[in-house]
A and B are shown apart, each in its own frame.
With several copies, the nearest count.
Chain A
Amino acid sequence: MTDHNDIDLRVRIGPLRLRNPVLAASGTFGYGREFADLVNLHRLGGVVTKGISLLPRPGNPPPRIVETACGMLNAIGLENVGVDEFIRRKMVFLRSAGTRVFVNILGDSIDDYARLAEQLSGVEGIDALEVNISCPNVKQGGVAFGTVPEMAAAVTASVRAATDLPVIVKLSPNVTDIAAMARVVEEAGADAVSLINTLIGMAIDCRTRRPRLANVIGGLSGPAIKPVALRMVWQVARTVSIPVIGIGGIATAGDALEFLIAGASAVQVGTANFRQPSVTEEIVAGIRSFLQEEGMLSVRDIIGTLQVEGG
């Protein structure tokens, strides 16, 4: 057994060094401050902010969330304070939180993404950009950037050109071939990919014959989607050579370890924060204990160690 304090949890995401591989996922951790009473932010690998757009957005009408079996659907509609307010107000706390800050960005056009990247570059305290390509491209008929390889590549390239910050592209799982999406994004200059965003789902109220979400469809997250997320992370990690950040249904240290073993260099915890606000910190501790029990010295020694017969 290794001594608890000797265990090295540090990982790298491209050029970025992280204290440990556990981040809070976008949209589930607000702007960090909301959780500050309940979890020690300086114990986390980092925090990914709610998705930020150029202008403030009001989001979708209510109801916006509904619980499903071991999961939830959300149709928040990308409500956020807009990039100016974000830099002016929300970064003040984040800068002092003692953890890495990843800013999740979203736009309606390729140009939006580039302008966001420009505006955020050079802002003190921002460590990386995470590009959410699950949004519809309003200029091209509303098809999501994240489902068409050429559009995903174009967004990535424009963000890449606009910033020196590490660029992480967050992939949508609602595609036939996730590995192909990761490959084009890698070629377009991403420093890393993160996945998965939510699966598209729906729920209906039988009595009223209405969708339970005002937006009709929403994003499915939580433990329910973990098997799909893990499969996609494994497929992507085998395909690209940039780091992969695993997301989807992670609620325990065991879940996080599955993603690391499948090839993720770090993980993000989303919906589980709602159930247990200190879950990220507990996952860090759980990974440490696991490595200790296994007599391992570094979390890096477990990344990508999946043993597959003949493969």
Chain B
Amino acid sequence: MTKFQEKAQILDRQELAASIIRLTLHAPLVAAAAHPGQFVMVRVGDSFDPLLRRPFSIHQVSAGGDLQLLFKVVGQGTRCLARLRPGEKLDLLGPLGRGFRLQREDPVCLVGGGMGIAPLYFLGKRLLMHGRLPEFDPVLLGAASQRELALLADEFFALGYDVHTATDDGTLGHHGFVTDLLDPVLPRVSRVYVCGPYPMMRIVAARCLAAGVECEVSLEAHMACGLGACLGCTVRATEGYAHVCLQGPVFDAGEVAWQ
């Protein structure tokens, strides 16, 4: 898997909700090599503060070499990224890590919470390339409220998926957790792909285990290099430690020592 460093031009900037931004970049090298679930390390600016790159999932790629990131402003780095405007450039390193295993036959389920939805959309698009019937694949999406979720839900719907939503405030879909929507779904699928807050992934992983359904989760860790060099991005695995940027970010739920 070749990695590239690419100065990508920003083509478009969308503000999906307060402090949720979607950037479209022209990054032909990274886009062409990307697989769903992989991520890029983004250099935040020229200053040494912040110093380190920030990891972001690849939200989607186009055949023309465009690539999207979807992120939420949570701190200094994302605040800098939110200030970028079309025409400016962003320095990317990628594609990095091990992505989702693409299932060809049996129905799958995608479960995304908050910004965890980002890599799932790329996955959702790429799965279609294998001639699947998305009507049979449930997509469960959760967020704080309607504003953050509506557009993303529409886009999955437009791909043909069987979309179900949940919001913390009840403004869209089920009023509650996205995990509440799992029960009717699990018996119908053979594999669940999940990305979102840790507690949510832990619940989904446990429910899949109980139901005998395969489950892939996308984990986060603080990262310095994204390349397997610093050994900083450790998570506890069932056997010793694993490094998110190298063996992950996508793991079989069974490999993870859930806390």
Interface residues of A (CB under 8 A from B): 27-30, 34-35, 37-38, 50, 58-67, 69-72, 74, 76, 79, 222-223, 251, 271, 273-278
Q: Are B241 and A58 in contact (CB under 8 A)?
A: yes
Give me 24 A-to-B residue pairs in the complex whose CB atoms sit less than 8 angstroms apart, sorted by A's number: A27-B230, A27-B231, A30-B227, A30-B229, A34-B228, A35-B227, A37-B2, A38-B5, A38-B227, A58-B241, A61-B241, A64-B233, A65-B222, A65-B223, A70-B49, A71-B51, A72-B51, A74-B224, A74-B230, A76-B230, A273-B225, A274-B52, A274-B53, A275-B51
- Specify which chain B residues have a CB less than 8 angstroms from the CB of A50 in the assembled complex: 229, 231
A62 CA to B232 CA, complexed, in Å: 8
Whether B86 sits at the interface, judged by CB under 8 Å, is no
- Specify which chain A residues have a CB less than 8 angstroms from the CB of B53 in the assembled complex: 274-275
Of the candidates B5, B50, B222, B231, which one forms a contact with A278 in the assembled complex, judged by CB atoms under 8 Å apart?
A: B5
Interface residues of B (CB under 8 A from A): 2-5, 43, 48-53, 93, 221-225, 227-236, 240-241
4 additional A-B pairs beyond A34-B228, A64-B234, beta carbons within 8 Å, are A72-B52, A72-B224, A223-B49, A274-B224
Q: Are A62 and B227 in contact (CB under 8 A)?
A: no
- Specify which chain B residues have a CB less than 8 angstroms from the CB of A37 in the assembled complex: 2-4
A51 CA to B240 CA, complexed, in Å: 19
Q: Are A79 and B231 in contact (CB under 8 A)?
A: yes
Q: Are B227 and A277 in contact (CB under 8 A)?
A: yes
Chain A minimum-CB-distance residue to B246? A34
How far does the Cβ of A278 sit from chain B's closest Cβ, in whole Å? Answer: 7
How far does the Cβ of B51 sit from chain A's closest Cβ, in whole Å? Answer: 6
Q: Are B231 and A223 in contact (CB under 8 A)?
A: no
Q: Are A69 and B49 in contact (CB under 8 A)?
A: yes
A70 CA to B44 CA, complexed, in Å: 13
Q: A30-B227, A273-B229, A274-B224 known; A70 and B51 CB under 8 Å?
A: yes
